[in-house]
Structure 1
């Protein structure tokens, strides 16, 4: 059965500045190139979900500008339901400015724009698709009150929730965590939120315990090239990553989350294989430039899995 995924999240235009390395304080360096692509954590996750075969609905906001119309058309072309994407007449479409190093690592500066106008009223207007969803996903590039409202609404309807607490600069409210079934931070975000930097197995366990003590059912901490740490009420395991040459890590976590939501059964019975599928999708995404342009389709993920068997 095809999953139905509803995403409450951000829509940005990504402006990528290609550099050999990050400049030091006071230093001026030249770009080696510039590229622009559709992005935003919410939009990335929605496209990743749709390309992996899930029926996908988006709840968010864009500005009344060329970037906004471009993003709506892009999401439509991916087969995503955009009836709950509202146009703001006071703020522009969000933008991200990405410093992409030759190593594939990136640093990102966000201009939230219309994304910060996503409110509980937008969530209430999307009550019908939320009630019919297999999973509801949100992240922290839109305001926490909207995320909390979405998860409360989902749990009242018996729908599973997935929280991507990125960027980790907003306080996760007890209400939001209580209604979170699965949380998926990367190691940096998790350490920032818990106050326990991840350096070893003990700190991984401490981070997972922090979230589980606050009502989260399953904790998945992504560790880049080291894999993903998965903690459930019954067990915890480190699942190794697939070894690839990363070109651009922008959107790697979004590729993971969108693919996970499309593959995971709502009863969570196939958690291990769904995480492996998500890892495979993420490993393919980092081998291309840009977030949305590099997100793989389901056929590519399955083909890559067959090649490595």
Structure 2
């Protein structure tokens, strides 16, 4: 049986500008290439979950514009249920501008647009979509009030909640109390706990702090090094696969989506699910663009056998 994953999140049209290096303040640089693709942390995570085999639904908002229609069609191409995506008549679809240098590093500017207009009532109106899920995923590119409403409903129906607190922001403490698994990177974890992530002891300290704040289970992604995990029963570190990164955009989103496609609701297989997610993420960074580089289940399994 495939995992049922519902994503509450952002839908952005990504415009990527290839640059030789990041510009200095006041400096003008020529871009080497420009491309546009479907993106947004929510959309990327949903596509990653769907391509990795999960039965996926999406809760979100787009503008009444070509970009919004493009985003909905992009999700539907991956057989994602888009019936809970609302069209905002007054605010345009979200967008992101990505500067990508020759080393594969990026800097990203995001315009929230309709993503920021998701209301609690709209989330509560799709309670059935949440109740049917094994996992509900949310990030910080949509309002925290909507996430709190969705996670509260999820817990009433026994759905496992996964919070990706990205981009890093001050968090409503009530959200962590209804979060089963929080998945920040090392920077985001430090922002939320006040404890810098430098070694295993500091990761354990982050896990203790999150537990005290209400989130019982933690995964910290540490870029090319790997991922730390701490559940109520165990903790450990799963190293990343060594590859040459071309574009790190959507690596973290691929990780979370792929993880949700394999994870058991009780997190009992967290180590093997993490290894699968790391493999998926390692494939994403070897391709250009966010959504186009997210791998399928077959591609992830094939890479595992090499």
TM-score (ref. length: structure 1): 0.97
Superposition deviation, residue 211 in structure 1: 1.0
Q: Deviations over 1:234-277 (max 9, x none)?
A: 33212110000001010011000000111111122211100110
1:107 matches 2:107: yes
Q: Flag structure 1 segments of 5+ consecutive residues without an equivalent.
A: none
Q: Distance in 2 between matches of 1:111 and 1:167?
A: 13
Q: Is the 8 A contact 1:3 1:262 kept in 2?
A: yes
Q: Flag structure 2 segments of 5+ consecutive residues without an equivalent.
A: none
Superposition deviation, residue 50 in structure 1: 0.5
Q: Deviations over 1:210-255 (max 9, x none)?
A: 2111111211000011000111123321211000000101001100
Number of residue pairs matched by the alignment: 306
Superposition deviation, residue 147 in structure 1: 0.4
* Cα RMSD after superposing both structures: 1.0
What residue in structure 1 maps to residue 37 of structure 2? 37
What residue in structure 2 maps to residue 223 of structure 1? 222
Superposition deviation, residue 148 in structure 1: 0.5
Q: What are the equivalent positions in structure 2 for 1:72-111 lying under 5 Å apart?
A: 72-111=72-111
Q: Deviations over 1:113-166 (max 9, x none)?
A: 000011111211111121111000000000000000111000011110000000
Q: Distance in 1 between matches of 2:174 and 2:54?
A: 28
What residue in structure 2 maps to residue 197 of structure 1? 196
Query: Which secondary structure does the structure 1 equivalent of 2:74 belong to?
Result: helix
Q: Distance in 2 between matches of 1:206 and 1:99?
A: 34
Query: Which secondary structure does the structure 1 equivalent of 2:27 belong to?
Result: coil
What residue in structure 2 maps to residue 28 of structure 1? 28
Q: Distance in 2 between matches of 1:280 and 1:120?
A: 35
Q: Distance in 2 between matches of 1:204 and 1:265?
A: 23
TM-score (ref. length: structure 2): 0.98
Q: Distance in 2 between matches of 1:22 and 1:122?
A: 40
Displacement over 6 Å in runs of 4+: none
What residue in structure 2 maps to residue 259 of structure 1? 258
Q: Is the 8 A contact 1:60 1:122 kept in 2?
A: no
Superposition deviation, residue 190 in structure 1: 1.3
